[in-house]
Amino acid sequence: MTKPYSRLDLDQAVVLLVDHQAGLLSLVRDVDPDRFKNNVLAVADLAAFFRLPTILTTSFEEGPNGPIMPELKAKFPDAPFIARPGQINAWDNPDFVAAIKATGRRQLIIAGVVTEVCVAFPALSAIAEGYEVFVVTDASGTFNEAVREAAWSRMTAAGAQLMNWFAVACELQRDWRRDVEGLATLVSDHIPDYRNLITSYTALRGGMPASRPAA
């Protein structure tokens, strides 16, 4: 059964960055490590660009999972940061759920490590409570492609939508004219080929086209 197209909404979306920790990052093998880090930082940048509420969480930092990526803490110094003492499923931590509910938003953009646990468990729990869940596939990583595919199947069967970070950015943007230069910079910073495209376009036009204020 197909579901109606439900688009990301700037006024309803909140970004959840789950367990992007030093120890867990070493487990990611389904994406090239440098590319994976780039994708995670792209999600952070789009969250900041669109001024979306962002919640950071880690699990058992004093254990082998290790500390969160320092770039994320630096990017969101004032964001809720939930250091879970032991809960594997972030949704089992009341402070994490309370931080989400405090935003008043119903669309969850989630990325994390590892996909089948740190992403899938809270995603499935949130869907069960009536939230819309959008999983950022290329900013979530795990042991191998087979594990990833199984996790994706489990989440989509429950109603999660799978997107990459570029699609998330474009769906939130809706219209290039909303902020041409801003979106072009965001994308160019994380996709070298797109930077070449923008460089060529800028040279031909003699500068970036004028953008209009955000609606």
Whether residue 4 is contained in a domain is answered as no
Whether residue 146 is contained in a domain is answered as yes
| Statement to judge: residues 122 and 201 lie in one domain | no
| Statement to judge: residues 62 and 149 lie in one domain | yes
Q: What residues make up the domain containing 132? A: 13-172
Whether residue 182 is contained in a domain is answered as yes
| Statement to judge: residues 56 and 113 lie in one domain | yes
Q: Which pLDDT belongs to residue 116? A: 98
Q: Which pLDDT belongs to residue 207? A: 61
Whether residue 7 is contained in a domain is answered as no
Q: Which pLDDT belongs to residue 213? A: 44
Does the N-terminal peptide bond of residue 114 adopt cis geometry, omega within 30 degrees of 0?
Answer: yes
Number of domains in the chain: 2
Helix 192-205, helix 180-190: angle, nearest 10: 140
Whether residue 111 is contained in a domain is answered as yes
Other CB atoms within 10 A of residue 59 CB = 24
Strands (E), the chain: 13-18, 54-59, 81-84, 107-112, 132-136, 161-163
| Statement to judge: residues 148 and 180 lie in one domain | no
141 φ/ψ angles, rounded to the nearest 5 degrees: -140, 160
| Statement to judge: residues 109 and 187 lie in one domain | no
User: pLDDT tens string for the chain (215 positions)?
Assistant: 678 999 999 999 999 999 999 999 999 999 999 999 999 999 999 999 999 999 999 999 989 999 999 999 999 999 999 999 999 999 999 999 999 999 999 999 999 999 999 999 999 999 999 999 999 999 999 999 999 999 999 999 999 999 999 999 999 999 989 998 899 999 999 998 887 777 777 777 776 544 444 43
Structure tokens at 53: 């509420």
Q: Which pLDDT belongs to residue 208? A: 54
Whole-angstrom distance, CA of residue 142 vs CA of residue 113: 6
Q: Annotated catalytic sites, by residue?
A: 118
Q: Which pLDDT belongs to residue 194? A: 81
Token pair 């803490």: residue? 73
Whether residue 163 is contained in a domain is answered as yes
| Statement to judge: residues 192 and 144 lie in one domain | no
| Statement to judge: residues 40 and 106 lie in one domain | yes
Whether residue 159 is contained in a domain is answered as yes
For the chain, the 3-state helix, strand and coil shares in percent, each to the nearest 5, are: 50, 15, 35
| Statement to judge: residues 61 and 100 lie in one domain | yes
Q: Which residues neighbour 6 within 8 Å (Cβ) at sequence distance 6 or greater? A: 132, 161
Residue 49, classified by CB atoms within 10 Å of its CB into exposed (0-12), middle (13-18) or buried (19+), is middle
| Statement to judge: residues 84 and 188 lie in one domain | no
Whether residue 1 is contained in a domain is answered as no
Q: With b meaning 16 or more CB within 10 Å and e meaning fewer, what string describes 136-172?
A: bbbbbbbeeeebbeebbeebeeeebbebbbbbbbbbb
| Statement to judge: residues 67 and 89 lie in one domain | yes
Residue 202, classified by CB atoms within 10 Å of its CB into exposed (0-12), middle (13-18) or buried (19+), is middle
Helix 165-173, helix 180-190: angle, nearest 10: 180
Residue 51, domain CATH: 3.40.50.850
Q: Which pLDDT belongs to residue 196? A: 79
Q: Which pLDDT belongs to residue 1? A: 64
| Statement to judge: residues 126 and 181 lie in one domain | no
| Statement to judge: residues 44 and 145 lie in one domain | yes
